[in-house]
Amino acid sequence: MKIRILFVLIIFSSIPAFVSAQSTKEISYEDVTLKIPEDWFHRTNQFQNGGSLNIGKEGEKNSITINFWEAKIPSEEILNFNKANFSKLDLFKNAKYSETSEVTFNGFQAKRLEFSTNFQNQSFVGKMIAFNRNSRSYLVMYNAIPQFSNSSTLQDILASIKIFH
């Protein structure tokens, strides 16, 4: 009898893991790899001295972008440049930014800037994380509705980012 109860408990306790498990795919671009949900898109863009990888889910307002440059640029400079350029976009015209803070992102010493904005009656939050690895500079940024910014999906994607340069 005890074995049956234990067996039933094991089966029922594992159901939520199977229900919430999300199928993922690994994508790579240049020296960046990460895992994203199977139903998400990814787009790449090459630009002078670098490139970008943009991921998201079609029809949703959440996005993650990873930029890299073939130069060692101070992290604070990357954040300030992006903040200045974003202020020209409608989405970010009224954005509020945090002070820059020092963080560790997936093992890299980085600088982080958090932001929040409201556009067309929708709140958005996000982070810009800049760091250097060898002779390259990187910027990881996400822009999301508040519910997604606290989701395990976003945390899993960010944690899966690997740099191999």
Tokens of 41: 């898109």
Mean pLDDT (the chain, rounded): 87
pLDDT tens digits along 61-115: 899 999 999 999 999 999 999 999 988 888 888 899 999 999 999 999 999 999 9
Residues 6+ apart with CB under 8 A from 108: 131, 132, 133, 138, 163
pLDDT (mean) for 5-25: 47
Residue type, 76: E
pLDDT (mean) for 27-44: 96
Tokens of 121: 């009656």
| Residue 63 · residue 40 · CB < 8 Å | no
Distance, CA of 56 to CA of 73 (rounded, Å): 27
User: The domain 23-163 is classified under which CATH number: 3.40.1000.10, 2.160.10.10, 1.10.10.10, 3.30.1130.10?
Assistant: 3.40.1000.10
pLDDT (mean) for 138-157: 94
Distance, CA of 9 to CA of 92 (rounded, Å): 50
Q: Which residues of 47-67 are buried (b: 16+ CB within 10 A; e: fewer)?
A: eeebbbbbbbeeeeebbbbbb
